[in-house]
């Protein structure tokens, strides 16, 4: 079981809130190296976090790419006998229950990994119920200038908690375009099974069965890559 969440976009660079004219500096981009989007995966059983620090947009493709990187980088080694994966997620954002691209991407991940993936969304307005990873990260870097990508990755990776939380962080320089259109026919072809209780929030994406077209594609229309 993993809990997933996106932290708000953070500015990167030599800029401080107490500088004179900070708003103008932000607008001009002076002293900035852009923004990052940290996407967190929390392995609940082992109390281990994995944060994918994206340099592009917070899209459904980025969200599932983050889960994919966690699975190939740590998840499958930590849980070698796993045949199922449960994902708990907030109701909105790049992994929101209304987001078609999120469902497309999760189905593609199930086809790639052979896992039966179940997604359970928290009801709207109850995101605080989700197992929180970024509350510890925020406390760890509070008041610390985020001057570079390396500083951000190292600061996140240094996060711990009294409960034994450990965190791994990586920089993701990939591009994740917005505005990807998912048609009704694409959705109808997805092998998703809705749960009886709130099927809009709770559903399952099984791995491909014999005879099923397993050439699922991600939201960009290109074959889903499998990291090595």
Evaluate whether residue 219 is within a structural domain.
no
How many structural domains are present in the chain? 1
Tokens found for residue 168: 């791994």
Inform me whether the pLDDT recorded for 225 exceeds 90.
Answer: no
pLDDT, tens digit, 9 for 90 and up, residues 110-143: 999 999 999 999 888 776 666 668 788 878 777 6
Classify residue 199: in a domain, yes or no: yes
Query: Of residues 146 and 215, which shows the higher confidence score?
Result: 146
Judging by DSSP bridges, how do beta strands 202-205 and 48-54 pair with one another? unpaired
Note whether residue 228 is domain-resident: no
pLDDT of residue 16: 52
| pLDDT for the residue numbered 96 | 92
Q: Is residue 216 part of a domain?
A: no
Helix axes 134-141, 149-157, angle to 10 degrees: 120
- Asked whether 182 and 64 are in contact (CB, 8 A), the reply is no
Q: Does residue 221 belong to any structural domain of this protein?
A: no
Q: Output the pLDDT for position 157.
A: 93
The verdict on residue 212 lying in a domain is: no
Distance separating alpha carbons of residues 4 and 191, to the nearest angstrom: 22
Q: What is the pLDDT of residue 216?
A: 46
Contacts of residue 161, Cβ cutoff 8 Å, sequence gap at least 6: 136
In a domain, 115, yes or no: yes
Domain of 111 in residue numbering reads as 2-205
Residue 220 lies in a domain: no
Q: Please say whether the beta carbons of 52 and 59 come within 8 A.
A: no
Which one has a higher pLDDT value, 185 or 25?
A: 185
Q: In whole angstroms, what is the distance from residue 148 CA to residue 69 CA?
A: 22
Contacts of 55 (CB under 8 A, 6+ apart): 34, 35, 36, 37, 149, 171, 172, 173, 174
Is the pLDDT at 77 greater than 90? The verdict is yes
């Amino acid at each position: 079981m993993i809990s997933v969440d996106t932290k708000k976009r953070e500015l990167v660079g030599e800029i401080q809130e107490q500088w004179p004219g900070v708003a103008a500096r932000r607008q001009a981009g002076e002293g900035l190296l852009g923004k990052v989007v940290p996407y967190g995966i929390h392995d609940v059983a082992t109390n281990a976090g994995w944060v994918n620090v994206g340099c592009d947009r917070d899209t459904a493709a980025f969200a599932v790419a983050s889960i994919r990187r966690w699975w190939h980088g740590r998840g499958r080694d930590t849980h070698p006998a796993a045949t199922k994966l449960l994902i708990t997620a907030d109701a909105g954002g790049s992994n929101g229950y209304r987001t078609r691209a999120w469902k497309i991407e999760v189905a593609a991940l199930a086809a790639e990994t052979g896992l039966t993936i179940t997604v359970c969304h928290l009801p709207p307005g109850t995101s605080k119920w989700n197992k929180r990873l970024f509350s510890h990260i925020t406390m760890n870097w509070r008041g610390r200038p985020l001057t570079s990508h390396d500083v951000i990755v190292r600061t996140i990776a240094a996060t711990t908690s009294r409960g034994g939380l450990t965190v791994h962080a990586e920089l993701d320089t990939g591009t994740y375009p917005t505005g990807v259109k998912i048609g009704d026919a694409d959705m109808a072809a997805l092998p998703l099974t809705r749960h009886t209780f709130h099927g809009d929030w709770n559903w399952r994406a099984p791995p491909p069965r014999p005879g099923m077209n397993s050439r699922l594609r991600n939201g960009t229309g290109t074959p889903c890559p499998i990291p090595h």
